[in-house]
Amino acid sequence: MARYTDASCRLCRRESQKLFLKGDRCYSTKCAMERRAFAPGQHGQGRKKVSDYGLQLREKQKAKRFYGLLEKQFHNTFLKAEKRKGITGDNLLVMLETRLDNVVFRMGFASSRKEARQLVNHGHFTVNGRKVDIPSYEVAPGSTVAVKKTSQKSPKFEEIKDMQISAPAWISVDVAKLEGTVLSLPRREEIDTPIAEHLIVELYSK
């Protein structure tokens, strides 16, 4: 499986905003954006006039990096969103939000989407009682995502039982049982990821 292996902080600096790719570190003074809030490379601090295409490209890159997808994965997701009824941009964000790795992150069982993807890959979660180790698995409304029984005793998940978790309105979480339920598909106003999806639609529509 292809994946990004370079420094995560470079991505935040390139997009000129925090993408929260490294969990707790992103909220501390150790965050690269706190010290070097400009693009990496020798021309990172230079002023550049950005074209309409450049704005659209940057928005697409930002969305990819927020959710941890590579270009082919992201494009395929867009094509599926385009075929569904409704607004393509909204469909795209809903599909990204209902990926299993993102749902695990939203439930508070991982400090970042990157960690959530790793936990899912390692088989720590079940969906409706069945083990699922595919991060891109699309979780349907009414589905229950839970930490596998054999994984609940690990220090990672024992700590979560004592945490206060603030989940979005479309998700219900039972911290004591280490499980959560997707109540419904998220509405656009319930998705707080700062993405201008119309720019992505314009880019792929050319």
What is the mean pLDDT of the segment spanning 20-25?
A: 59
Q: Is the pLDDT of residue 158 over 60?
A: yes
Mean pLDDT value across the chain: 86
Task: Give the pLDDT confidence of 53-92 residue by residue, as tens digits.
Answer: 989 999 999 999 999 999 999 999 999 999 999 999 999 9
Structure confidence at residue 49 (pLDDT): 75
Structure confidence at residue 56 (pLDDT): 94
Structure confidence at residue 165 (pLDDT): 86
CB atoms within 10 A of CB 75: 14
What is the mean pLDDT of the segment spanning 129-146?
A: 97
**What whole-number distance in Å separates Cα of residue 191 and Cα of residue 140?**
17
Sheet strands side by side (includes 130-131): 130-131, 125-127, 144-147, 179-182, 171-174
CB neighbour list of residue 180: distance below 8 Å, 6 or more residues apart:
103, 107, 109, 144, 145, 146, 167, 171, 172, 173, 174
Structure confidence at residue 150 (pLDDT): 93
Structure confidence at residue 5 (pLDDT): 55
Structure confidence at residue 187 (pLDDT): 96
What is the mean pLDDT of the segment spanning 159-165?
A: 85
Alpha-carbon torsion (163, 166, 171, 174), positive or negative: positive
Structure confidence at residue 7 (pLDDT): 60
pTM, full prediction: 0.79
What is the mean pLDDT of the segment spanning 128-150?
A: 96
| pLDDT confidence bin for 1, thresholds 50/70/90 | very low
Provide the pairing of β-strand 179-182 with 171-174: antiparallel
Side-chain half-sphere of 18: how many Cα atoms within 13 Å? 16
**What whole-number distance in Å separates Cα of residue 119 and Cα of residue 183?**
22
Side-chain half-sphere of 51: how many Cα atoms within 13 Å? 4
Candidates 185, 171, 188; CA nearest to 90 is 188
CB atoms within 10 A of CB 132: 16
